[in-house]
Amino acid sequence: MIRVGVLGARGRMGSVVCQAVRSAADLELVAEVGSGDPLDALAGCDVAVDFTKPAAVLDNLRWCVAHGTDLVIGTSGFDETRLAEAHDIIASGRAGATGPRVLVVPNFSVGAVLMMRFAEQAARFFESAEVIELHHARKADAPSGTAVRTATMIANARAAAGLGPGPDATVTQLDGARGANAGGVHVHSVRLPGLVAHQEVLLGGPGEILTIRHDSLDRASFMPGVLAAVRGIGTLQPGLSVGLDGLLGLA
């Protein structure tokens, strides 16, 4: 039985995670920590799961490192700078052979992880690739982190294959009409009430288009990934890991 504690337990994601852990026969929910609750509630946990907010997550990380508790992080905001900060916290704590494992997962949706992998695999076979991401109107950042990551993976695959920029005869345009440019791959953001979280990768070549589309329709879509992370984190090397790919056998 893996003993699990959830940070942000009363939030939108945290409450669904608590339910998923309660429903899993091999997991035991031993701590539900909300804002202002003492972190000592996590003392009996094998694994903590953080769905709080960017301003809170590093303090939670420090506690887990100090107490040797493995930590799965879903909270967003882990760009390169923040990952380096997390790495320093782990290195200055109990990291090493006996230190805890910390797994940062930018996207727990298995479908989204596969979409990125498929796009990366397909990228070298097509002259052009563009990404369209579509989200609800309350989203603060554009493009989404997943779209930027997808574009970067496509750009790296294209570069490795020796592909240059795709054909584009545009000479006049309204500002932004061709979208953001992430590593040479254009990314278009749509914001509409009624949408949840969706993404299309369009790959074009002579006479054909390959479209890879993923739709997240409910927070339930994240739970198989969260549970895979909770079950699998104990198999990782101590220290910092990023992404679900390794645990899904995709690395």
Ligand X SMILES: NC(=O)c1ccc[n+]([C@@H]2O[C@H](COP(=O)([O-])OP(=O)(O)OC[C@H]3O[C@@H](n4cnc5c(N)ncnc54)[C@H](O)[C@@H]3O)[C@@H](O)[C@H]2O)c1
**Catalytic site residue from 67, 87, 136, 139:** 139
Distance in Å, CB of 151 to ligand X, minimum: 18
Binding site for ligand X (CB under 6 A): 7-8, 10-14, 33-35, 51-53, 56, 74-76, 105-108, 222
Q: In this complex, which beta carbon is closest to ligand X, that of residue 14 or of residue 179?
A: 14
Distance in Å, CB of 112 to ligand X, minimum: 8
Q: In this complex, which beta carbon is closest to ligand X, that of residue 53 or of residue 136?
A: 53
- The residue number with the shortest CB distance to ligand X is 11
Q: What is the DSSP string of the chain?
A: -EEEEEETTTSHHHHHHHHHHHH-TTEEEEEEE-TTS-GGGGGG-SEEEE-S-HHHHHHHHHHHHHHT-EEEE--S---HHHHHHHHHHHHHTT-STTSPEEEE-S---HHHHHHHHHHHHHGGGSSEEEEEEEE-TT--SSS-HHHHHHHHHHHHHHHHTT--PPP----S--TTTT-EEETTEEEEEEE-TT--EEEEEEEEETTEEEEEEEEE-SGGGGHHHHHHHHHHGGGSPSEEEE-STTTTT--
Q: In this complex, which beta carbon is closest to ligand X, that of residue 56 or of residue 122?
A: 56
Q: In this complex, which beta carbon is closest to ligand X, that of residue 10 or of residue 22?
A: 10
Is 53 catalytic? The answer is no
Is 135 catalytic? The answer is yes
Distance in Å, CB of 50 to ligand X, minimum: 8
Distance in Å, CB of 170 to ligand X, minimum: 34
The residues that are catalytic are: 135, 139
